[in-house]
């Protein structure tokens, strides 16, 4: 390669011979350093297509012998022509990451054009000749990577990268300079948090490698942020689903509790009268006997039986008998206090549990029930049905020990006497204190 003598124009003449031709043209003198960089490592080599500096050559390019073909991208899987004997390749980009947006900031126009041409195959390149212009680009669109010169009018590269770090922290920041100053490097690291610090004139392959790594870094970080956002969204979806599922489970649990209570009620309730059934009534009687033994209070237990109930069933069929039992259940509930209990224990027989009721109270309660039943009539299918009941109560006074079996036998005996002495009667049996 030969360099021509300086002329009155700010350009340098260069002539390059290749295996199949020669190239001669004018280039800006300020590009000599870059021009040498391109040729010095490997001889007659153009890193890509038409020489990057040819964009700035004046129209007076003297001669191109033979006419130079248009070359594809320099990063390739295939060797290019004789001007690229150093091993430049054309074809698919070696970058395995999506194309990133690269902003190059420099106050030298030819550097912007050169870098845009060098890096255009691998990046979507934007250029700005000042920090202010770069900031306007940031306001208009997202920038993935910024490569800024240090020495610029008004605003330095460090100041620009510091602004980028504060306002666009995800952008990968690189600084380049032709002046090696320790203070600038320290400021770039501490204030701009730069990813890499490049020196002018740069080596093309080093520049590409640094930018490739910067693109990979940005892509990985963006992928990480995307994955993190996806994770956040999954967490939000999961929380929503958990909330919905929790609500569904709560509703199902509430329904289950309702069903459970209903089943418990049905298990303890006589389906005909709605009173306690035999099992529930006997359990209540045993519980009240334990309470009577622990606390000083009287207790009355006893049977109520419908007189001549078989005749009622005969005269009015079973449905008439059922209506009689339901009518009697309503009378019993109305005659008892809230603390008392009553249940149907079989057929036409009912068991009454009267808490804190002594012998006198038992007589009053039995007579109230008997007279109410006698005076009431049941209207059924145009007929008026009148019934009577026989009552047998057993009473355990305060301090008198009482056994369930004993109390039930005494109440059964009292009921038997009431029936034997004419029915429609009540008999009260007082539990005697045990000897000793």
Q: Tell me the residue length of the chain.
A: 436
Q: What is the pLDDT of residues 88-104, one digit of tens each?
A: 233 334 444 568 889 99
| Average pLDDT, rounded, for the chain | 77
Q: What is the mean pLDDT of residues 235-255?
A: 91
User: Could you give the CA distance from residue 207 to residue 155 in angstroms, rounded to a whole number?
Assistant: 24
**pLDDT greater than 90 at residue 4:** no
Quick check: pTM over 0.95? no
> Cα dist. 122→97, 143, 211, 222, 318 in Å?
10, 15, 9, 18, 97
pLDDT value of residue 387: 94
- Of the two residues 37 and 357, the one the predictor is more confident about is 357
Weakest mean pLDDT among 236-240, 272-276, 335-339, 387-391: 236-240
On whether the CB atoms of residues 84 and 51 are closer than 8 A, the answer is: no
Q: Which residues contact 287 (CB under 8 A, 6 or more apart)?
A: none
The Cα–Cα gap between 191 and 204 comes to 27
pLDDT in tens, 311-359: 998 888 888 899 999 999 999 999 999 999 999 999 999 999 999 999 9
Query: Range with the lowest mean pLDDT among 39-48, 279-288, 358-367?
Result: 39-48
| φ/ψ (deg, to 5) at 44 | -75, 80
Query: How many CB atoms are located within 10 Å of the residue 250 CB?
Result: 10
Q: How confident is the model at residue 177 (pLDDT cuts 50, 70, 90)?
A: confident
63 falls in which pLDDT band (50, 70, 90)?
Answer: very low
Least confident of 70-74, 144-148, 385-389, 430-434: 70-74
Residue 400, pLDDT > 60, answer yes
- Buried b vs exposed e over 340-379: b needs ≥16 C-beta within 10 Å? bbbbbbeebbbbbbbebbbbebbbebbeebbeebeeeebe
Reported as a single tens digit per residue, the pLDDT across 181-211 is: 666 666 656 665 777 777 778 788 888 888 8
What's residue 49's pLDDT?
39
Q: Report residue 27's pLDDT band, with 50, 70 and 90 as the boundaries.
A: very low
Q: Average pLDDT of 364-378?
A: 95
pLDDT at 90: 32
Give the Cα separation of 189 and 197 in Å (integer): 9
Q: Taking 90 as the threshold, does the pLDDT of residue 223 lie above it?
A: no
Please report how many Cα atoms fall inside a 13 Å half-sphere around the Cα of residue 11, on the Cβ side. Answer: 16
Q: Over the stretch 7-19, which tens digit does the pLDDT of each residue have? A: 333 434 444 444 4
DSSP state of 36: H
Question: Range with the lowest mean pLDDT among 51-65, 199-213, 290-304, 414-428?
Answer: 51-65
**Ordered domains of the chain (ranges, CATH):** 2-90 (no CATH), 100-221 (3.40.50.2300), 278-430 (3.30.70.270)
């Amino acid at each position: 390669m030969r360099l021509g003598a300086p002329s009155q124009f700010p350009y340098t003449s260069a002539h390059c011979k290749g295996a199949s031709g020669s190239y001669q043209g004018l280039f800006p003198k300020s590009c000599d350093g870059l021009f040498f960089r391109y040729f010095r490592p490997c001889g007659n080599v153009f890193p890509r297509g038409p020489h990057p500096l040819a964009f700035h050559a004046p129209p007076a390019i003297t001669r191109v012998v033979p006419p130079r073909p248009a070359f594809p991208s320099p990063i390739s899987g295939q060797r290019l022509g004789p001007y690229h004997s150093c091993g430049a390749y054309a074809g698919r980009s070696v970058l395995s990451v999506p194309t990133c947006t690269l902003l190059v900031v420099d106050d030298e126009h030819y550097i912007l054009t050169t870098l845009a041409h060098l890096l255009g195959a691998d990046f979507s390149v934007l250029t700005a000749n000042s920090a202010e212009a770069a900031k306007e680009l940031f306001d208009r669109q997202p920038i993935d990577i910024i490569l800024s010169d240090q020495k610029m009018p008004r605003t330095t590269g460090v100041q620009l990268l510091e602004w980028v770090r504060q306002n666009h922290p995800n952008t990968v920041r690189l600084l380049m300079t032709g002046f090696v100053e320790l203070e600038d490097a320290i400021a770039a690291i501490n204030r701009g948090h730069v990813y890499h610090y490049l020196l002018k004139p740069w080596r093309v392959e080093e520049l590409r490698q640094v930018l490739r790594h910067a693109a990979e870094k940005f892509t990985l970080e963006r992928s990480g942020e995307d994955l993190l956002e996806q994770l956040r969204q999954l967490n939000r979806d999961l929380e929503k689903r958990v909330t919905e599922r929790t609500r569904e489970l709560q509703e199902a649990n509430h329904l289950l509790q309702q069903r459970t209570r209903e089943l418990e009620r049905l298990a303890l309730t006589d389906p005909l009268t709605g009173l306690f059934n035999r099992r529930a009534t006997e359990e209540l009687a045993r519980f009240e006997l334990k309470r009577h033994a622990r606390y000083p209070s009287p207790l009355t237990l006893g049977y109520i039986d419908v007189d001549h109930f078989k005749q009622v069933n005969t005269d009015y069929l079973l449905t008439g008998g059922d209506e009689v039992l339901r009518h009697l259940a309503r009378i019993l509930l109305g005659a008892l206090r809230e603390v008392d209990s009553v249940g149907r224990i079989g057929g036409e027989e009912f068991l009454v549990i009267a808490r804190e009721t002594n012998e006198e109270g038992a007589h009053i309660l039995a007579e109230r029930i008997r007279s109410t039943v006698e005076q009431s009539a049941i209207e059924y299918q145009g007929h008026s049905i009148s019934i009577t009941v026989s009552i047998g109560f057993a009473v355990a006074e305060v301090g008198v020990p009482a056994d369930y079996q004993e109390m039930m036998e005494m109440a059964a005996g009292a009921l038997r006497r009431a029936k034997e002495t004419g029915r429609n009667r009540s008999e009260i049996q007082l539990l005697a204190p045990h000897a000793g």
